[in-house]
Structures are given as structure tokens and as C-alpha cells.
Amino acid sequence: MVAFDLSTVAQVFGHPAEEEYTFAVATPDGDDVMTSSGFSIGAVHDLDALAHARTIIIPGYRPHHRPHDDTLRALRNAYQRGTRVASVCTGAFALAATALLDGLTATTHWQDAGELQRLYPEITVQPDVLYVDHGQVATSAGVAAGIDLCLHLVRRDLGERVAARIARRMVVPPHRAGGQAQYIEPAAAPTTHGFAELTDWIVDHLEQSLSVADLARHTHLSERQLARRFVAETGQTPLQWILHQRVLAARRLLENSSLPMDVIAQRTGLGTASTLRRHLRREIDVTPTTYRRTFHAD
């Protein structure tokens, strides 16, 4: 088992000072499991623990052997009961063996995507995204992308406020969209500090109409240079990144204010309530009214 993948899940869902989730580790026979780093994980449960889980997350492992039939059966039975089943990194090989991903898109570490596609041709493997969420089944890419998926699941369960609090504790970005690239080539000239200032400026001016030309003027770059370097550093085009920030800001206002939808849309630069509704549905498949009813801080 990949130790980092398990620790990622434990950090998000198993922190002893946070009460939103309970957390346990299970192995097929309840025995200790060896990690790829050379130490073992003990104090684990057996497969009976899966019967009580509302979410099961499979960490990465090597080699990518097909799990025993008892394990696959337990995962499929949990899914049929309505349990959410997800994988981090090469945990996708175990999830794929259950056939729960057949006919769906999925991802894993980009270095292992070709092998996953070859072994499980019924799946459409996307090697260039951070995570793929189909609702009851989800997969993430490797290493830090597991954090992104786990925070995404928290955001779905409990809203932006709780996910942001956990992200702050872990000292990681609160939200990277699943469609971002796994591996980003470095810019010819690193501009991280300048772009940190730019992205802060964007977030402070979301109510304005922002174009690539506006960003280029702010950074004293040409539009072409700005666009190329922005993608290299964030994995998204400037306009994609801005839209994502507008939706995140709208979610925070839905959670923490009673402002009318039109006002929220105007303050976040989305313009109208109908535009807010369209983009929120596209990102998380709920209406603003439903999101506020579920996550509003009373």
C-alpha cells in the first residue's frame, strides 16, 4: 500500500479534533499491511467494517494485482447498499476490478494510466485530470490529487466552509477543480510570485468584468504571454480559473449570507441569478436554493 495515499485520507477524514466523520482502516483479513515505504500499518479491521461505512476509499498499492474475490464482493455489496466508493492513485486498479467503473471515465496516476486502460478496456481512462467524480464512485490521480478528491468529497457532504477549514489545517489549497491537469510543464521563466499577486487581485475584483487583456495589463505581459504562463502555473486558462473562483465565491455567500441570488451573482461577477444557477449546476449539480438550504450557516 502507498503510505502517502492512506495518510491523505486519514488527514482529511480521520483528524481526532474534528467530529464530522469517523474513520477506520480495513484490510481483507484484518492483518497488518506493508507499505511501499517499508513499514507496516497495524490496528486495522477486516472486511466486516465495510458494512458500516458510508464512504470507502481505496489507497494506491503495488503491484497492481487483482484483489481476492471476497474483497471485490465486499466492495460491490457496499456499493449496492448505497455506499460511496472511491480510489486514490493506483487504488483505481482495485476499483476497476469490481466492474463498478465499467462504461465510465476514471483516472489514476498518469504514469499508470496506460496500464489501467490496457487491463480494463471497458473504462475510459483520463490521464490528464486530477479526479473524476460520478456521484457514488470516484477516482483520483496520484499523490497530492488524492487530497483534492477528498476535499471535494467533504465539500459535497458538508459545504465549502468545512472543506476550507480542513484545507487550512492541512495547509493546502482549498479547491483545485477535478479537470485540472495532473502534470504541468514549468513555464520558461518561473513567475509564481507574480501570479500569486495576480490571483489575489482577481479574487478581490471578481465583481468586475475581467478579460485576458485586463490581466495582461495588470502584469505588464502580452496577452499571449499571460495566457501561456497562467496555464503553466495553474493548469487552467485565465477565464476558466476566474469562472471557478466566481462559483466558489458564490458558494461562500450562499453558505454565509442571506443575500438574494441576483445580488450574489452581481457581487461575484456572474451577472444574473440564471447564470449563477447554470454554473453551480454544472459544477456540483445542485441549484443555488438547494445548496443554501443544505449548507447555510444558521
Residue 57 pLDDT level (bands cut at 50, 70, 90): very high
Residue 193 pLDDT level (bands cut at 50, 70, 90): very low
Q: What is the pLDDT of residues 3-27, one digit of tens each?
A: 999 999 999 999 999 999 999 999 9
pTM: 0.68
Measure the CA–CA gap between 159 and 152, rounded to whole angstroms: 9
287 torsion bin: left (phi>0), alpha (psi -120 to 50), beta (else): beta
Q: Which residue has the higher pLDDT, 168 or 222?
A: 222
pLDDT score for 178: 59
Residue type, 58: I
Residue 236 pLDDT level (bands cut at 50, 70, 90): confident
pLDDT at 182 over 80: no
% of the chain surpassing 70 pLDDT: 92
pLDDT score for 177: 62
Measure the CA–CA gap between 233 and 251, rounded to whole angstroms: 25
Q: Which grid coordinates belong to 26?
A: 480495513
Residue showing cell 459544477: 283
Residue 185 pLDDT level (bands cut at 50, 70, 90): very low
Q: Which residues of 242-264 are buried (b: 16+ CB within 10 A; e: fewer)?
A: bbbbbbbbbbbbbbeeeeebeeb
pLDDT score for 192: 43
Measure the CA–CA gap between 210 and 202, rounded to whole angstroms: 8
pLDDT score for 254: 92
pLDDT at 291 over 70: yes
Q: What is the pLDDT of residues 73-95, one digit of tens each?
A: 999 999 999 999 999 999 999 99
pLDDT score for 183: 41
Whether 70 and 47 have beta carbons less than 8 Å apart is answered as yes
Q: What is the mean pLDDT of residues 96-101?
A: 98
Residue 194 pLDDT level (bands cut at 50, 70, 90): low
Q: What is the pLDDT of residues 123-181, one digit of tens each?
A: 999 988 889 999 999 999 988 899 999 999 999 999 888 998 998 899 887 666 655 55
Please give the full DSSP string across 118-176, using - where no structure is assigned. Answer: HH-TTSEE-TT-SEEE-SSEEEE-STTHHHHHHHHHHHHHH-HHHHHHHHHHHTS-S--
pLDDT score for 89: 96
pLDDT at 188 over 60: no
